[in-house]
């Protein structure tokens, strides 16, 4: 998980105004290249981290980015935030 958190943070700093590119990069690395499914903890954890970062401390923005997740339980987790 530490690696996925670091990846998300690096991509956020590299693309501070472009969550789409950050999401695509994480998806490629953690789902496509590593052949993990969309329900894995690292792939979904990456999307949660991106939602928190791109939400910029605003709970409404963060929760509206719940669609970054790759499955339903991540979306539910973000709604709880």
Burial 15-49 (b: 16+ CB within 10 A, else e): beeebeebbebbbebbbeeeebeeebebbbbbbbb
Q: Is the pLDDT of residue 5 over 50?
A: yes
Percent of the chain with pLDDT over 70: 74
pLDDT in tens, 19-28: 889 989 988 9
35/7: higher pLDDT: 7
Domain range for 15: 2-80
> What's the structural domain count of the chain?
1
Residues 6+ apart with CB under 8 A from 13: none
pTM, entire model: 0.75
Q: How much is the mean pLDDT over the chain?
A: 79
The two structure tokens encoding residue 43: 């792939």
């Amino acid at each position: 998980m530490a690696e996925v958190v670091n990846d998300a943070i690096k991509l956020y700093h590299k693309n501070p105004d472009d969550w789409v590119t950050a999401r695509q990069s994480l998806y490629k690395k953690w789902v496509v290249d590593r052949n993990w499914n969309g329900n894995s903890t690292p792939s979904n954890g990456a999307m949660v981290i991106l939602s928190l970062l791109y939400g910029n401390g605003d709970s409404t923005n963060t929760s509206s980015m719940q669609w970054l997740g790759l499955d339903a339980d991540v979306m539910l987790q973000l709604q709880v935030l």
